[in-house]
A and B are shown apart, each in its own frame.
Chain A
Amino acid sequence: DIQMTQSPSSLSAFVGDRVTITCRASQTISSYLNWYQQKPRKAPKLLIYAASSLQSGVPSRFSGSGSGTDFTLTISSLQPEDFATYYCQQSYSVPSITFGQGTRLEIK
């Protein structure tokens, strides 16, 4: 099975900061990597698919990059509504799917 490891597990940042979250796959997954945002007591929301494509309706301050085994999610200027938990998910090894363990982004 492909393992997905996110770092850091948690981080604190100020509104306006630029933030980067990393996701590493245990083997190459090409660009079959998706990112989700989950706010407390809410369902996850798709942000980025295919490593770098912005889902419709998602603010442009969110961006994704990477291929192979290393990927990043960047928020260019944190807004109050961005404080949440972020998950990566690989869909390379279909039918099996795996999520990262999550990165909790908190207000400093």
Chain B
Amino acid sequence: QVQLQESGPGLVKPSQTLSLTCSVSGDSINSGNYYWSWIRQHPGKGLEWIGYMHNSGISYYNPSLKSRVTISLDTSKNQFSLRLSSVTAADTAIYYCARRALIQVRSGAFDIWGQGTMVTVSS
């Protein structure tokens, strides 16, 4: 059974960098079969894709966040991470990590999600 679990600070000060980690169990992020992704949801709002990365090193980011986002993989720990710099109150949201299938496997769907972690940006 594949499980993803987010961890990281729940409170970040404005202008600082938000850092989250997603621990993966039941699958290897080095398998090459998936993209490892971050998605966020502002309180009471819809879903916003942040970015995703493949173990080949390919990464893609939402153009609206691209200048501030870095996703990285740590295959030795079977974890992947999100860094979002220069945060403002507008970055307050629930952050989900998710596994995204290759397009030819399950139409690029996000088939496994972490439970989500609330991050508040406030001084």
A residues touching B (Cβ–Cβ < 8 Å)?
Answer: 31-34, 36, 42-46, 49-51, 53, 55, 87, 89, 91, 94-102
Contacts and interface: CB of A to CB of B under 8 A. Distances in A.
Given A99-B46, A100-B46, A91 B108 contact: yes
B49 A49 contact: no
Contact of B116 (A43, A94, A97): A43
Q: Which 9 A-B pairs have the closest CB atoms?
A: A91-B108, A95-B60, A50-B107, A43-B113, A34-B109, A49-B109, A99-B47, A97-B49, A49-B107
Interface of B: 46-49, 52, 60, 62-63, 96, 101, 103, 106-111, 113-116
Contacts of B103: 32, 91, 94
B106 to A, nearest CB: 5
Interface of A is mostly: loop
11 contacts: A42-B115, A43-B114, A44-B96, A46-B111, A49-B107, A50-B109, A53-B106, A87-B46, A94-B103, A97-B49, A97-B108
Contacts of B46: 87, 99-102
Output the residue of B46, B60, B109, B113 with the most chain A CB within 10 A.
Answer: B109
Given A94-B103, A96-B63, A87 B47 contact: yes
A5 to B, nearest CB: 12
Nearest to A55: B111
Contacts of B108: 32, 34, 91, 94, 97
A43 B103 CA distance: 22
